[in-house]
A and B are shown apart, each in its own frame.
Chain A
Amino acid sequence: MIYGDHTTGVIVQGATGNQGAFHINLMNQYAQETGGRGVVAGVTPGKGGQKVHGVPVYDSVREAMAEHDATTSVLFVPGFAAGDSIMEAASAGLELVVAITEGIPVHDTMRALAFARMEGCTVIGPNCPGILSPGELKLGIMPPQLAMPGHVGIISRSGTLTYEVINELTRAGIGQSTVVGIGGDPVIGQTFTEVLERFEADPQTKAVVLIGEVGGNLEEEGATSTSLPLVTYIAGISAPPEKRMGHAGAIIEGGEGDAVSKIARLRQLGFPVAGKPSDIPGLVRELL
């Protein structure tokens, strides 16, 4: 529970779009199962007054916050407008924005993150599946049925690969404290380093699985920043240079950020690196 718990009040920005409406429903189903508050309001400019799955929609985040007690926003706004929406949420006083949106121009992300930081607002994503604290809170699109509560934290740049790892852990009887999808873009709000800081302060988390991929060097930076026991996995050994592997951030540039050298570096630093997802539970068990 490093980014909130069942008492967290959630606003969804982009509430009336397909994705927004669909996931308001799923998040609130989960809130019902876990006794949480879930999504208390939606925001879509120009659509104030409507309801989505019983949740009232407002024209702006400020208006929604005047009527409801919320600290967190989950963002489904389309790419071209998402940077602006992050700034709106930060400016209105929300503490946390989870930006699910894919395809935000990176200059927009960069400016929105700088602005949010000035306003004291934490951003997860963009281009991420969100956060899941099994049994407590679901912010975003992760399928909670694969997960089970426990003591292993997961941080990942990718969505479905994370579900694969959750699935492997749960099948092996290893529960999760919180799963954080930090996003597949080159510029993201919370990096491995910052999420690990929160895990370190979380009494529930005893070990962390760090799932990285080609591009940049945020994995190495994160791994060396924490004293928590870590298991790592890096996707993209077979990724050719200068090609984007689905994620805007998953690209080997100028000979930097390839999986083989990331893995070598992590091993050199003494971290266990899983060769494939199914090796992860065994490695985690050795640490616990």
Chain B
Amino acid sequence: MKLLEFEAKEIFKEYGIPVPNGVVIRNPDELRRQLNGFTDEVVVKSQVDVGGRGKAGGIIITDKAEAVSTAEHLFSFPIKGLIPKAVLVEEKLPIDHEYYVSITIDRSTRQPMILFAETGGVDIEETARTRPEALRRAGFSPLLTGVPGFLMRQILGSAPKELGPVINNLYKAFCASDALLAEINPLVTTSRGVFAADAKLIVDDNALARQGITANRDLTPREREAEENGFSYVELDGSIGVIGNGAGLTMSTLDLIAHYNGKAANFLDVGGGAGRERVMKAVRLVAGMPDVKVIVVNLLGGITRCDEVAKGIIEAGIDQHVITRLAGTNEEEGKALLAKNGYQMLDTMEDVVRQAVQEAAA
């Protein structure tokens, strides 16, 4: 789950990373009461979970007198369709230079990896593409509790040594918050020291519980309902509903739909060992999507029993046509149940997909 900038900055502060003085407001009135803390120019930042906020008009530099009206504007200004629930107002820093630093997990080496660039700011992706050598990388053992000195010197090159402790603290925050990504862009030097002008933290979904985070906000309402039922679920924009067991098989079913020029409405993996009730909930959830014309159920029974799947489909009792492919454990019992209740079954995933694409196009 991606944290908002102000939430990430609260965590950074705990780990000794300096951030600009600022206030988080939920409405413009809150700012009126807190304006005294500011002296001169301020930066007003929309707290939406969207990349490229600055270019989209979500970050505005203004003076103290205009701060409230600027905040009012941002509270009603959608960025990529999202309206912010909070706005962050910060002092404007006297920036000397902007750097880039991030820590991620490198899949190949299975290690944390630091990326650093002596030119940070909005165009870091462009820099990465056009001058890859400008991004310095260093990976090291996850068993270390800090960044070794020799690696820090290698990362920093001719950049000021003062950045070192901030990067080391970023690594500590990265570990402590179970982050998949911890990023400061820009990391700025000023006459008053080093600051994280922006902050980005993505927390591992598998660690939300121990991080004390109860709800994954990255989800749509239907995705949340799916999560509560223990399904992996992603919404797409086609008209063929897809239910499978196992992430790979379900993804492969989606691809086969695309292969035959159809469009899937969703990805729903019921997981291993799904029983009657879970299958029923899955079918109803997908049937509840407004654009779904037909539903494909593709199940390979291992731990999952095909007769339970069949009962779930029948009990769901939905209007849309359900086309099923069942194979594996208790296949015969499942097929008999579906046949008795007039449901269509085909023998291979190709057959069900072709049939569904045809019906969706009709």
Residues of A within 8 A of B (CB): 22, 79-80, 103-107, 110-111, 113-115, 141-143, 146, 156-164, 167, 184, 186-188, 191, 211, 213-214, 216-218, 221, 235-240, 243-250, 254, 259, 275-278
Contacts and interface: CB of A to CB of B under 8 A. Distances in A.
A238 B236 contact: yes
Interface of B: 105, 107-108, 110-112, 125, 141-143, 175, 178, 180, 204-207, 209-210, 232, 234, 236, 244-252, 254-259, 264, 267, 269, 272, 300, 302-303, 327-329, 348-350
A250 B250 CA distance: 12
Of the candidates A107, A114, A146, A249, the one having the most CB atoms from chain B within 10 angstroms of its own CB is A107
A160 B245 contact: yes
Contacts of A107: 142, 175, 178, 204, 207
Contacts of B178: 105-107
Given A107-B207, A160-B300, A184-B248, 12 more contacts: A110-B110, A114-B141, A159-B248, A159-B249, A159-B272, A186-B105, A186-B180, A238-B236, A246-B246, A246-B247, A246-B248, A246-B267
Contacts of B264: 238
10 contacts: A79-B206, A104-B206, A105-B206, A164-B300, A186-B180, A214-B251, A235-B255, A236-B255, A237-B258, A240-B234
Nearest to A79: B206
Given A114-B141, A246-B232, A250-B247, A235 B210 contact: no
Contacts of B236: 238, 240
Contacts of B258: 237-238
Given A237-B255, A247-B247, A277-B349, A110 B234 contact: no
A245 B234 contact: yes
A115 B251 CA distance: 33
Contacts of B349: 164, 277
A160 B249 contact: yes
Contact of B247 (A103, A184, A237, A254): A184
A156 B209 CA distance: 29
A158 B267 CA distance: 15
Contacts of A240: 234, 236
Smallest CB-CB A-B distances: 4 pairs: A158-B248, A246-B247, A160-B246, A161-B248
Contacts of A243: 234
Contact of A141 (B206, B303, B329): B303
B300 A163 contact: yes
A164 B252 contact: yes
Nearest to B348: A278
Nearest to A239: B251
B302 A248 contact: no
Contact of B248 (A188, A211, A238): A211
A80 B250 CA distance: 26
Nearest to A104: B206
A211 B180 CA distance: 25
Given A218-B108, A237-B258, A158 B302 contact: no
Contacts of A246: 232, 246-248, 250-251, 267, 269
A249 B204 CA distance: 11
A161 B206 contact: no
A101 to B, nearest CB: 10
Contacts of B112: 110
Contact of B249 (A158, A244, A254): A158
Nearest to B264: A238
A246 B233 CA distance: 7
A191 B111 CA distance: 14
Nearest to B141: A114
Contacts of A216: 107-108
Contacts of B247: 158-159, 184, 213, 245-247, 250
A275 B256 CA distance: 8
Contacts of A221: 108
A238 B257 contact: yes
A278 B125 CA distance: 39
Contact of A276 (B256, B272, B300, B328): B256
A113 B249 CA distance: 27
B108 A275 contact: no
B105 A187 contact: yes
B251 A164 contact: no
B248 A235 contact: yes
Nearest to A22: B303
Given A161-B249, A163-B300, A143 B328 contact: yes
B180 to A, nearest CB: 7
A248 to B, nearest CB: 6
A249 B328 contact: no
B232 to A, nearest CB: 4
Contacts of A164: 249, 252, 300, 349
